């Protein structure tokens, strides 16, 4: 009986495999150029996202201040029969009224401004490795839940770090990532509001 022959698929295992060809100088240059272009595009994208997020946040805050100051100015206009000696009291009253209104809104919706900023920011800086959010320590638990939900919606899930700060007010917050950030300063906004009310009051005051 004839011996069975081993079937080795025509493969000669005695020959060494040919080493892969090294990339040519032109190919290496092309790869390096593509890598550099991608890196530059990523950096430009982060910068544009940061600028857009800050601009949109500033615009929202400005609109809110203008709305409150306009309502306060309307109140001052109704007091135009007061004598000049009472003008300062009228401005102070309007400012207190505006501060009280904004305080009530802050108590009812303490994270409204932060959530609006997060929606804009997370959508623009998706390539950033993480984002650190700082706010008053009493709001950390609420912020963690709200920001986690927004991050999932914006493709930024798992990259949020929320830190409580005792020296920040409930109206303050900041958002920082690798190449930038945005910040809301409650005291600075209050000063701008006072300036806006005084400006509107001056425009609404009757001239003799």
* 102-139: pLDDT as tens digits: 555 555 667 888 888 888 888 888 888 889 999 999 99
Asked if 74 and 96 touch (Cβ cutoff 8 Å), the reply is: no
Q: 10 versus 48: which is more confidently predicted?
A: 48
Give the position of tokens 């009493």. 138
Q: What is the pLDDT of residue 91?
A: 55
**Alpha helix (H) residue ranges in 78-185:** 87-108, 112-124, 140-153
Instruction: Give the SS3 label for residue 208.
Output: coil
Task: Tokens for 1, please give them.
Answer: 């009986």
What is the rounded average pLDDT for all residues in the chain?
A: 72
Q: What is the pLDDT of residue 59?
A: 73
Asked if 165 and 38 touch (Cβ cutoff 8 Å), the reply is: no
Q: What is the pLDDT of residue 113?
A: 83
Across 187-200, b (16+ Cβ under 10 Å) vs e yields eebbebbbebbbeb
Q: How many residues does the chain have?
A: 208
In sequence order, the 6+-apart residues with CB closer than 8 A to the CB of 139 are 110, 111, 164, 170
Rounded to 5°, angle at Cα 109 from 106 and 113 = 80
pLDDT digits (tens, 9 = 90+) for 47-93: 776 677 777 776 776 676 667 667 666 666 665 554 554 555 555 55
Q: What is the pLDDT of residue 143?
A: 93
pLDDT digits (tens, 9 = 90+) for 129-168: 889 999 999 999 999 999 999 999 988 999 999 999 999 9
Q: What is the pLDDT of residue 171?
A: 83
pLDDT digits (tens, 9 = 90+) for 19-53: 555 667 777 777 787 788 777 766 676 677 667 77
């Amino acid at each position: 009986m004839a011996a069975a022959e081993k079937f080795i698929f025509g493969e000669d295992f005695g020959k060494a495999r040919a080493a892969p060809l090294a990339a040519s100088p032109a190919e290496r240059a092309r790869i390096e150029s593509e890598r550099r272009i991608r890196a530059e595009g990523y950096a430009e994208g982060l910068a544009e996202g940061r600028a857009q997020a800050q601009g949109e946040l500033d615009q929202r805050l400005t609109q809110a201040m203008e709305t409150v100051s306009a309502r306060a100015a309307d109140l001052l206009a109704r007091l135009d029969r007061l004598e000049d000696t009472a003008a300062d009291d009228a401005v102070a009253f309007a400012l207190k009224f505006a501060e009280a209104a904004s305080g009530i809104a802050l108590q009812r919706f303490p994270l409204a401004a932060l959530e609006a900023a997060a929606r804009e920011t997370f959508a623009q800086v998706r390539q950033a490795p993480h984002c650190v959010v700082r706010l008053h320590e009493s709001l950390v638990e609420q912020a963690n839940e709200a920001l986690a939900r927004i991050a999932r919606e914006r493709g930024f899930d798992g990259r949020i770090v929320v830190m409580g700060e005792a020296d920040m007010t409930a109206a303050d917050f900041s958002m920082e990532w690798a190449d930038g950030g945005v910040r809301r300063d409650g005291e600075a906004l209050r000063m701008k509001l006072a300036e806006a009310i005084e400006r509107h009051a001056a425009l609404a005051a009757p001239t003799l």
